[in-house]
Amino acid sequence: MLVKEYRICMPLTVDEYRIGQLYMISKHSHEQSSDGEGVEVIINEPYESPMHGKGQYTEKRVYLNRKLPTWVRGFIPKIFYITEKAWNYYPYTITEYTCSFLPKFQIRIETKFENNNGCNARVFGETPTPDDDVCYVDIATDDITEGYYKKTEDLRTFRSAKTGRGPLLENWRETTQPIMCSYKLVAAKFEVYGFQSRVESFVHKNIKDILLAGHRQAVAWMDEWYGMSLEDVRKFEKKLQEETNCKVNSQKKTSDSKNDALLGSGRHSINRSTSWNSGTEQCSYATTNGSDIKPRHRLPSAPE
């Protein structure tokens, strides 16, 4: 198992980001979905934990088959999808990912949000995460993969019309107010002999790219969600959820009967418990060193 702690700062407060995060996830899921591909929301409802109190539970299926290389699609079944389970007790969340095709593959993300610039070394317990396993993600200056870059989301040039925040210049994490940090403890597990370290290292490289792109969007879309209430953003979330499900299901319905037969049931099995632990104790993760993976072509965050 390979574990890393990511720290992503943003020019927002924790209360503001609660709205921005819900808006960003809904809009991003809708943009990335098309006929038969993308994110299908299975469950989105209130949930209460004995330990964390009231929150929101969501379960999604992320269909990726056509986004994979041709040589990979040749041996992966068409029912291939990633299941995302999320328990949102804001400002604390747990998210787990499992794969329908690879049962030994799992990702667990534990997140805490705080109003600081990433200076809390003990956010996940009394024992700090080793420095070598801490990764600071700079939404303004880190290089971003070519497919994720959009000029309108370049935070070195972006300025919010509603708040006047931005652009994010050199040393912005030390000078910007307000500022918050999204602390994410990410554990990737792929227990297959001969592939474990390489796959887990590859997963973390991709997770970092996704975190960078998502948090950039939350800030770059600020003028779209700033001023919305929690009720407003929940209505927006529900509306886009329905539209996204329609996009994903438009071509998938024809194969549902085959999928149900292969999965063993025509009904979705609802299990809201975490698959790694009960959430009542601190996880003890053993880190491993992964092999270097050839990086994808990247673009500077703000090309000259």
Contact residues for 26 (Cβ-Cβ < 8 A; gap 6+):
233, 236, 237, 240, 241
> Would you say 107 and 184 are in contact if contact means Cβ atoms under 8 Å apart?
no
- What angle separates helix 14-31 from helix 196-220, to the nearest 10 degrees? 110
Cα distances from 248 to residues 171, 205, 252, 301, in angstroms, run 42, 27, 7, 31
pLDDT of residue 147: 82
Domains in the chain, CATH or no CATH each: 2-263 (3.30.530.20)
Element (H, E) at 206: helix 196-220
The closest of 104, 75, 108, 72 to 93, measured between CA atoms, is 108
How many Å apart are CA 27 and CA 31, to the nearest integer? Answer: 6
Taking a C-beta distance cutoff of 8 angstroms, is the pair 240, 26 a contact? yes
> Within 13 Å, how many C-alpha atoms sit on residue 57's CB side?
16
Closest of 236, 286, 207 to residue 27, by C-alpha: 236
Q: What is the bridge-based pairing of β-strands 2-10 and 134-137?
A: parallel
What is the pLDDT, as a whole number, of residue 144? 93
Question: What pLDDT is attached to residue 12?
Answer: 98
Q: What is the residue-level pLDDT of the chain in tens, covering all 304 positions?
A: 999 999 999 999 999 999 999 999 999 888 877 656 788 999 999 999 999 999 999 999 988 665 555 655 555 556 678 899 999 999 999 999 998 778 889 999 999 999 999 999 999 999 999 999 999 999 999 999 888 899 999 999 999 999 999 999 999 999 999 999 999 999 999 988 888 998 899 899 989 999 999 999 999 999 999 999 999 999 999 999 999 888 887 655 544 444 444 444 444 556 777 766 544 334 444 334 444 444 445 555 544 4
Cα end-to-end distance, the chain, whole Å? 39
Q: In this predicted structure, what is the pLDDT of residue 69?
A: 55
Q: Looking up tokens 């879309």, which residue turns up? A: 221
Residue 60 vs residues 22, 50, 87, 264, 290: alpha-carbon distances, Å: 14, 23, 12, 19, 29
What pLDDT is stored for residue 126 in this prediction?
Answer: 93
Residues with Cβ within 8 Å of 154's Cβ and at least 6 positions away in sequence, in order, are: 220, 301, 302
> What was the pLDDT predicted at 259?
46
Cβ-Cβ contacts under 8 Å for 233 (sequence gap 6 or more):
19, 22, 23, 26, 225
SS3 58: strand
Alpha-carbon torsion 198, 136, 297, 72, what sign?
positive
- Scan for tokens 């700090």, then name that residue: 128
Q: What pLDDT, on a 0 to 100 scale, did the predictor assign at position 95?
A: 97
pLDDT for the residue 74: 59
Query: Which pLDDT belongs to residue 141?
Result: 96
Distance CA 194, CA 286 (A): 18
Q: Which helix (H) or strand (E) holds 218?
A: helix 196-220
